[in-house]
Structure 1
Amino acid sequence: MTNYISCLCGCTAQEVSLQPVESPSPLPLCHCVSCRLTTGMLFSAYLILQSSPKTFDSLIEYQQSDHISRWFCGKCGAHVFVRLKPQNKYLVASGLLTAEAFQTESVQHWGIDDTRDGGLSSFLPGTKAAVAACWVETGQFSHQVSPQRQLAPLNPAIDSEKDNQLHARCHCGGIQFFVTRPNALSSNALSPWPDLLVPYHSASSDNPEDVKWWLQAENTKYLAGACACASCRLASGFPVQSWAFIPKSNIFKPDHSPLSFDISTLQRYESSLAVYREFCNRCGATVFWHCKERPDVIDVSVGLLRAKSGARAEEWLEWATGRVSFAEDASDKTLIRMLETGLQMWEGKESCRAEFCSRPA
């Protein structure tokens, strides 16, 4: 089956041939630590190709292990292909396919044990794979997981999470930074409403009351949520991008200096006028989104956060469950509807749990 793919900048546009599968076949979502740190996402989603890609022009290869190579766009950072070397098989990132080519009917979760808290699988109903391994490693080929390349050593200055700082890093270790707890400086930023809270198709994003919407839980946590916009999908290669909204004043480099966008392997792509995206130019992980309109609130890719509790970092983040940002623009609309349903179910469970816990004995 021939399909068309393209990343956000268009450099990777080409036709690919997907391997035929039995219908309906669940979309494999991998939540393992390697997939999260190489992509910046809370899960990766790939499909198997029938043959090798026609071209790797404009792509950068990252050798994740002796058995796995990933390719991402050198201009916008989108993950595109994976090669499983022992089987000589290729995979393609599902978010790059056109809407006509692929619509998810069900999902299967892989690598959940690596998340400790379920990660995004807690919001997305699906079946759990019988094998507790990375789908990219095992796929439909073998249940023998190949040895992983040792992750780059952590910076000793931020080697372990402290109560007042949260470590973030990509797979290759080129990008490392840490986040501090909300403080007095966190309220100094100015910002319009995000589509996550005020859908742009139905209301103005103006924030005349200067609500500090990025601060949640009585100013003890940061807002986080999922986005399905075309730009995030094509810039990452995957159908769901998860962002945490964090004031720039609460993000620091490993040497404890304020955040600047000259961190080691960080590369910038201006996806539209005065809108910037940063990714690691060595392993391809999505890192930041920010813009001239709100320069002091930075979108941080949640897959890079290394919280004690797990991938969702709930001791740091308050997850928006009312909607998926730009759900109306989603390419894989059935998957996003499933996610929104799961988010609403999660909110209902949390409300019931809170009500039960508040009842007198």
Structure 2
Amino acid sequence: MSTEEQVNLTAHCLCRKHTFTTSVPRSSLPLPAYLCHCNSCRHLTGSLFSTDVPWPGSPSNVDLSGLSVYKFSDKLLVHFCGTCSTPLLFSHPQDPNAQHGVFTGTLTNEAQKLVNIAIHIYVGDTVDGGASMWLRHPNGDGKEVKRFKERPGDAETGTSGEELPHDWPSPSSLTGFDKKSPEDSVSIKCKCGGVHFRLHRYPHTDKTGDQLPWFVDRTTHKYKAAQCGCDSCRLSSGVDLFSWTFCDLAQISFVDGADTKTFPKNKAELKTLVDAKDPSAGTLKYYASSPDVQRYFCSSCSASVFYAVDSRPNLVDLAVGLLEASDGARAEGFLAWWFGRISHRDDTKGGWREKLVECVMKEATEWREARGYPEV
């Protein structure tokens, strides 16, 4: 009988209505993680990727009955908290004996290193490389993690196994900091399509300097975008580092031809629309993660959509992963990124995510400098 020391693993949702625990031998840590950049995962989480690791033990020992379910594909189901939106687990309906996958953002931030990013998959879907550009060396060991256009060669799925070279994509193919993409608006859409709006460019291009709000870049008039490492954002999305942009609600509209209404201009109107279950809101729902904060998400597929706080009545944080921009996942033609900045990173201190944040901040800064992008 083995006497090897066991380490407890705990995953829970933001509202803590659902908690899952198991144990693994210490020698099996860190668990290998797949970091997926595919279009579906971005629109499922609202971030630029999803990350999961196998949940140790038999799937028959995991009670999923209290969770909401979304059919991600014929081979995968997503199990999420219907109250606070946290996606917790993937299951495999065609193979009931296959281990579940747990979203790494739901794991507690233990001092023991729980997760090691082993591979990037479906990076080709991003067009511009997405977040893989600053997640090449995420584990703190100096080793570069391989990036695949799809995934390693798999006869069952028919994937080619094409590994992307270090210099993909070519810098000349990127929109860059100064240029804008041709479209005047971009789609905001969750995985299931139940939430579908449009984001329009900042309209007051005649304003300069201090005339501009803090969330608009003074040079390009693009909306600023950044990553957040706070516990609430990672738990609500299941992603360890979440990507947000910021805009006035006045720059969001309903989808062309879908509704003749004007989109709510402040958070009170938005809340009223959702509370009334107005059809124009689609499947949008919110969870009050604190008395003055509402986190909006899709009640069907769990995608994070908006973050709203009472102190900013006309402004919302908008999930970057939901944008459908012609130039790629980072939507550089619309957004000016705070490369190297991760807000609320103190939440990661003392745990395994602290090293991840350090690596990402360093690599994002180096990538920005190599591209010649200025700080925003």
Fold-level similarity (TM above 0.5): yes
Counterpart residue identity of residue 304, structure 2: T
More deviation, 16-25/217-226: 16-25
Higher mean C-alpha deviation, range 326-335 or range 32-41: 326-335
Is the 2:10–2:107 contact (alpha carbons within 8 Å) kept by the matching residues of 1? yes
1:237 counterpart residue number: 238
**2:127 maps to 1:116:** yes
What is the rounded CA distance, in whole Å, between the counterparts of 1:265 and 1:176 in structure 2? 9
2:289 corresponds to? 271
Instruction: Give structure 2 stretches of 5+ with no counterpart.
Output: 1-6, 138-144, 160-180, 265-269, 275-280
1:77 is matched with 85
The alpha-carbon distance between structure 1 residues 289 and 146, as it changes in their structure 2 partners (threshold 3 A), is farther
**Aligned pair in 2 of structure 1 residues 102, 231: CA closer, same or farther (>3 Å)?**
same
Shift of 1:105: 4.6
Aligned length: 313
The question of whether the paired residues in 2 share the 8 Å contact of 1:230 and 1:329 is answered with yes
How far 1:283 sits from its partner (Å)? 0.6
Check the 8 A contact 2:68/2:79 in 1, yes or no: yes
Seen in structure 2, the aligned counterparts of structure 1 residues 146 and 68 have a Cα distance that, compared at 3 Å, is farther
8 Å Cα contact 2:30-2:114 kept in structure 1? no
Aligned residue number for residue 145 of structure 1: 157
2:336 aligns with 318
Q: In the alignment, is the contact (CA less than 8 A) between 2:30 and 2:113 conserved in 1?
A: no
- Aligned pairs for 1:166-245 (under 5 A) are 166-184=186-204, 212-218=213-219, 220-245=221-246
Gap change, CA 1:57 and 1:85, over 3 Å in 2: closer
Higher mean C-alpha deviation, range 233-242 or range 21-30: 21-30
TM-score with structure 1 setting the length: 0.79
Please state if 1:283 is matched with 2:301.
Answer: yes
**Structure 1: unaligned runs, 5 residues or longer:** 148-160, 188-208, 355-361
**Closer, same or farther in 2 for the Cα pair 1:228/1:20, shift >3 Å?**
same
Instruction: Name the SS of the counterpart of 1:239 in structure 2.
Output: coil
Q: Look up the equivalent residue of 1:342 and give its one-letter code.
A: E
Residue identity matched to 1:12: H
Query: Is structure 2 residue 268 aligned with structure 1 residue 258?
Result: no
Whole-Å Cα distance in 2 between the matches of residues 302 and 65 of structure 1? 22
Q: How does 1:38-49 map to 2 (within 5 A)?
A: 38-49=44-55
Report matched runs for 1:333-344 at 5 Å. Answer: 333-344=354-365
TM-score by length of 2: 0.76
Distance 1:24 1:17 in 2: 13
Which residue is 1:348 aligned to? 369
What is the one-letter code of the residue matched to 1:6? H
Cα distance, 1:274 vs. partner?
1.2
User: How far is 1:54 from its partner?
Assistant: 2.7
2:341 aligns to what SS in structure 1? Answer: coil
3-state SS of 2:342 partner: coil
2:44–2:302 CA contact under 8 A, matched in 1: yes
CA distance change for structure 1 residues 39 and 106 in 2, over 3 Å: closer, same or farther?
A: closer
Residues 87 and 237, structure 2, Cα contact 8 Å, conserved in 1: yes
| Alignment correspondent of 2:103 | 93
Cα RMSD of the aligned pairs, angstroms, is: 2.8
- Given that residues 96 and 234 in structure 1 are in contact (C-alpha distance below 8 angstroms), is that contact kept between their aligned partners in structure 2? yes
